[in-house]
Chains A and B, each alone.
Chain A
Amino acid sequence: MKIAIASGKGGTGKTTLSVNLSAYLAEKEEVVLSDLDVEEPNSGLFINAMAVHEEEKYKMVPVWKEDQCTLCGICQEVCNFHAVIQLGEMIMVFPELCHGCYACSELCPTDALPMVPKKMGMLKHLRNDKLSFIESRLDIGEEQAVPLIKQSHEYVDEHFPDDIIRIYDSPPGTSCPVIEVTKDVDFVILVTEPTPFGLHDLKLAVETMKELKKPFGVVVNRHGIGNDEVLHYCEDEDIPVLAKIPNDRKIAVLYSEGKLIYNEVPEVKQELDKIIAYLRKLKQGGVQ
């Protein structure tokens, strides 16, 4: 079963939920946690595990062969991202803007834009007993998260059987990286905080998941701050609220020390149990 943990707003507790849910589940069964917030992965701060493997990740980008180019301009016409620009008698390529779609390269009539590998980041694979942890980290200066997220999915698919629980820690927001993380999962947990800002961005995330036709539920984090608007919204929209993690100073202290919280704060464990119960029911087809 594939579960993505996403949000609209940043800083709502995606990583807190990802690492605690994963570690708790891994007490009894095999779990793979993938941190796909590749621009700033931080699940690893809370996971004590031994390195199994690491590899450099590359994306393919075009390079200009001046001697083969006829300056026809097709390459810059087909690039949607202005990663290839014709300037007088010169073609300029901006690898950071390139999405690696091959259009310029394939459509060049004189093969003047061959694709070459460019390093974009690192993937690390760690393990602690039943918990496997995959972290992908984009290099500084790289702008495209999607190619690395895609390759991380491929790594997980190749190295783990289908039937174990996979948890994906998503970036915040509703743009391409979030789509890439969530598009093939079975269920999305949207973590929000019960504030006007949290609600505003939750609505955007809900619209995105509806567009993707993904089943999803909401976890309210820091329950007790703000107001009841998030709960009212979920009720009106028929969105299941899977759990309410309380606002507790002790949680913040443990988080700041890089520790897991579910064994220290009983209410958190209870709320995780609710999420797990919901997921089990979902797996058995009991949730409509």
Chain B
Amino acid sequence: MKIAFTTKGTEWDSMMDPRFGRTEFFLIYDEEHDELKPHDNRSSSNDAHGAGPKTAQVLFGLDSKVLITGNGPGGNAASVLKKARIDIYVGAGDMTVRQAWEAYKEGKLKKF
């Protein structure tokens, strides 16, 4: 399974980005192959409107089934993620990616 993190960098020790729609990066962790791949989402800062649903669409294209983030998506993005059947876990905004991953595995993150 692929798991997506909203992040400010591209490493396991990077900080999470608490935002969803305007997150700087996604880090996609492929559990099966133990691979971590970044996706640059910084162009979202150019979007005056609709960054949330747009970013949700991008995430759909990245084919991950779980999203780990901070504050949680807004209403429009949440409806796209729901249709895309992506499970969302929130509350990892102040963690590093590694800490967020461990918190998720230990069931410490809240399901959105």
Among all A-B residue pairs, the 4 with the closest Cβ atoms: A82-B50, A82-B54, A81-B49, A97-B50
Q: Interface digits, A93-105 against B, CB 8 Å rule (1 contact, 0 not)?
A: 0101100000000
The main secondary structure of chain A at its interface with chain B is: loop
Contact B60 A92 (CB under 8 A): no
Chain B residue with minimal CB distance to A94? B76
Say if the beta carbon of B33 comes within 8 Å of chain A.
no
Query: Which residues of chain B have C-beta atoms less than 8 A from A82's C-beta?
Result: 47, 49-51, 53-54, 57
- Distance A143 CA – B49 CA, assembled complex (angstroms): 10
Say if the beta carbon of A42 comes within 8 Å of chain B.
no
Say if the beta carbon of B36 comes within 8 Å of chain A.
no
- Distance A87 CA – B50 CA, assembled complex (angstroms): 15
Contact B60 A87 (CB under 8 A): yes
Residues of chain B at the chain A interface (Cβ within 8 Å) = 47-51, 53-54, 56-57, 60, 76, 79-80, 83-84
Given A81-B49, A81-B50, A97-B50, A86 contacting B57 (CB threshold 8 A)? yes
Contact B83 A90 (CB under 8 A): yes
Given A81-B50, A97-B50, A88 contacting B80 (CB threshold 8 A)? no
| Sample of 27 A–B contacts (CB below 8 Å) | A81-B48, A81-B50, A82-B47, A82-B50, A82-B51, A82-B53, A82-B54, A82-B57, A83-B49, A85-B53, A86-B57, A87-B57, A87-B60, A87-B84, A88-B60, A88-B84, A90-B83, A92-B79, A92-B80, A94-B53, A94-B76, A96-B76, A97-B49, A97-B50, A97-B53, A97-B76, A143-B49
Q: Which of A82-128 contact B (CB under 8 A)?
A: 82-83, 85-88, 90, 92, 94, 96-97
- Minimum CB–CB distance from A106 to chain B (whole Å) comes to 20
Contact A85 B57 (CB under 8 A): yes
- Distance A83 CA – B77 CA, assembled complex (angstroms): 11
Contact-residue bracket for chain A: 10 to 19
Query: Which residues of chain A have C-beta atoms less than 8 A from B53's C-beta?
Result: 82, 85, 92, 94, 97
Query: Which residues of chain B have C-beta atoms less than 8 A from A97's C-beta?
Result: 49-50, 53, 76
Query: Which residues of chain B have C-beta atoms less than 8 A from A94's C-beta?
Result: 50, 53, 76
- Minimum CB–CB distance from B32 to chain A (whole Å) comes to 22
- Distance A81 CA – B46 CA, assembled complex (angstroms): 11
- Distance A87 CA – B57 CA, assembled complex (angstroms): 6
Query: Which residues of chain B have C-beta atoms less than 8 A from A83's C-beta?
Result: 49-50
- Distance A86 CA – B57 CA, assembled complex (angstroms): 8
Query: Which residues of chain B have C-beta atoms less than 8 A from A87's C-beta?
Result: 57, 60, 80, 83-84
- Minimum CB–CB distance from A59 to chain B (whole Å) comes to 15
- Distance A143 CA – B52 CA, assembled complex (angstroms): 14
- Distance A86 CA – B56 CA, assembled complex (angstroms): 11
Chain B residue with minimal CB distance to A97? B50
- Distance A97 CA – B21 CA, assembled complex (angstroms): 14
- Distance A83 CA – B48 CA, assembled complex (angstroms): 12
- Distance A94 CA – B77 CA, assembled complex (angstroms): 10
Query: Which residues of chain B have C-beta atoms less than 8 A from A143's C-beta?
Result: 49
- Minimum CB–CB distance from A282 to chain B (whole Å) comes to 34
- Minimum CB–CB distance from B1 to chain A (whole Å) comes to 18
Contact B80 A85 (CB under 8 A): yes
Query: Which residues of chain B have C-beta atoms less than 8 A from A96's C-beta?
Result: 76
Q: Interface digits, A181-223 against B, CB 8 Å rule (1 contact, 0 not)?
A: 0000000000000000000000000000000000000000000
- Minimum CB–CB distance from B67 to chain A (whole Å) comes to 15
- Distance A239 CA – B54 CA, assembled complex (angstroms): 43
- Minimum CB–CB distance from B65 to chain A (whole Å) comes to 14
- Distance A96 CA – B53 CA, assembled complex (angstroms): 12
- Distance A85 CA – B76 CA, assembled complex (angstroms): 11
Query: Which residues of chain A have C-beta atoms less than 8 A from B48's C-beta?
Result: 81
